[in-house]
Amino acid sequence: MERVLVTGACGQLGSELSMALAGIHGSENVIVSDINGPIALLSGMTFEILDVMDRQAISEVILRYGITQVYHLAAMLSAKSEQNPELAWKLNVDGLINVLECCRQQGISRVFWPSSIAAFGPSTPSEKTPQHSVMDPNTVYGISKLTGELWCSYYFNQFGLDIRSVRYPGLISYKAPPGGGTTDYAIEIFHSAIKGEEFVCYLKQDTQLPMMYMPDAIKAAVQLMQAPASQIKVRTSYNISAIDFTAAQLAAEIMQHIPGFKVKYLPDYRQEIAATWPGSLDDSCAMSDWSWQADHNLKTMTEDMIRQLFIVRTTS
Ligand code: AKB
């Protein structure tokens, strides 16, 4: 029986991943934590206020609940990180090292930590970016993710800590709001569309980014954590891929359901961030090592997002 700790559990990924983990391990075995909260989505699970910059506090929570696995999700996303680079570094890198060190000291059996497409940079080949490629991120978030990947690999090689990671694309979901990412436009656009409002997009219409629907993001984390250790050959972070689209392609797909929906393009500083990220990733290593395969494409994701958001709107 596993006892699981999730950090950053109130976030967009954390809230839905915690619910999935409660379904797998039992809600009594999933301890959810965040620096703020709790939120309604986490009801039924034990909640702890936890600042991952406080190593002692992490250690105490692990000990108190007999934790055996950690999903460390607390982080600051790309757009927000550019507003406060020093704090982003402290949270994303020092926070990760605190978690790794507590896990090492307390013999945690498995750790999950998300990296991002942001770990790549302007010199990276932008189409079908290989698993092993040039990595020269020029955002503080991207630098923190690349550094984090190296720390994970170091803890695996030096101490045998079984830490596993994926490079998430932009995540699209409707249950919990995103928190300061460059890819957030791909969620905000749906909210404008169902309200019948014009959407002002902060990316250029032809900017293509790798994206993923939340059920696939959850599937990736769960599948990677359940794979036998012998199958995990990449100890930095795995490329995973699902749906690659430009802002204009997403808008056109939404217009299939909501004719007359209008989008205006007014690029801001986030366009510069997006321009340094790949447009698509080669995820063949994840496919062959632990049988990764996304389920959702642009059509099925868009249909489901619109259906779910209309349900939320009519029932609230
Ligand atoms: C962001 O936009 O910052 C995140 C990411 C791609 O890691 N969604």
Q: Which of 63, 74, 65, 72 is nearest to 45 (CA)?
A: 65
**Distance of alpha carbon 121 from alpha carbon 117, whole angstroms:** 9
**Distance of alpha carbon 312 from alpha carbon 79, whole angstroms:** 27
Ligand 1 center from residue 143 Cα (angstroms): 13
165 touches 112 (CB < 8 A): yes
Q: Using a 6 Å cutoff on CB, does residue 78 contact ligand 1?
A: yes
66 touches 2 (CB < 8 A): no
- Name all contacts of 193-196 with Cβ < 8 Å and 24+ positions apart: 193/254, 193/258, 193/261, 193/306, 194/258, 194/306, 194/309, 194/310, 194/313, 196/258
Length of the chain measured in residues: 316
Mean pLDDT value across the chain: 98
CATH class of residue range 4-169+214-239: alpha beta
Contacts of 159 (CB under 8 A, 6+ apart): 104
Q: Which atom of ligand 1 is nearest to the CA of 183?
A: 2
Give the pLDDT score at 272: 98
Q: Using a 6 Å cutoff on CB, does residue 121 contact ligand 1?
A: no
Annotated catalytic residue within 71, 141, 155, 168: 141
Ligand 1 center from residue 10 Cα (angstroms): 16
Residue-wise pLDDT for 222-245, tens only, equals 999 999 999 999 999 999 999 999
- % of the chain residues with pLDDT over 90: 98
201 touches 149 (CB < 8 A): no
Show the tokens assigned to 182.
């460059």
Q: Using a 6 Å cutoff on CB, does residue 9 contact ligand 1?
A: no
Atom 1, ligand 1: residue with shortest CA distance: 181
Ligand 1 center from residue 98 Cα (angstroms): 22
Q: Which of 300, 41, 302 is nearest to 194 (CA)?
A: 302
Residue-wise pLDDT for 103-148, tens only, equals 999 999 999 999 999 999 999 999 999 999 999 999 999 999 999 9
β-pairing, 208-213 vs 243-246, is antiparallel
Residue-wise pLDDT for 252-283, tens only, equals 999 999 999 999 999 999 999 999 999 999 99
273 touches 215 (CB < 8 A): no
Atom 8, ligand 1: residue with shortest CA distance: 170
Give the pLDDT score at 16: 98
Please give the CATH superfamily to which domain 171-211+242-315 belongs.
NAD(P)-binding Rossmann-like Domain (3.40.50.720)
Q: Which of 261, 277, 234 is nearest to 123 (CA)?
A: 277
Q: Using a 6 Å cutoff on CB, does residue 183 contact ligand 1?
A: yes
Atom 4, ligand 1: residue with shortest CA distance: 181
116 touches 211 (CB < 8 A): no
Residue-wise pLDDT for 170-180, tens only, equals 999 999 998 89
Ligand 1 center from residue 197 Cα (angstroms): 25
Q: Using a 6 Å cutoff on CB, does residue 170 contact ligand 1?
A: yes
Ligand 1 center from residue 168 Cα (angstroms): 8
**Distance of alpha carbon 234 from alpha carbon 145, whole angstroms:** 15
Q: Which of 76, 9, 72 is nearest to 41 (CA)?
A: 9
Give the pLDDT score at 28: 97
Give the pLDDT score at 185: 98
Q: Using a 6 Å cutoff on CB, does residue 117 contact ligand 1?
A: yes
Rg (CA), the chain: 19
Task: Tell me, yes or no, if 265 is annotated catalytic.
Answer: no
Q: Which atom of ligand 1 is nearest to the CA of 277?
A: 6
For the chain, the domains span 4-169+214-239, 171-211+242-315
Ligand 1 center from residue 113 Cα (angstroms): 14
Give the pLDDT score at 98: 98
Give the pLDDT score at 179: 85
Displacement of CA 78 from its chain's centroid (Å): 11
Atom 6, ligand 1: residue with shortest CA distance: 170
Show the tokens assigned to 94.
């020092």
Contacts of 186 (CB under 8 A, 6+ apart): 170, 172, 209, 211, 247, 250
Angle at CA 186, nearest 5°, toward 302 and 139? 150
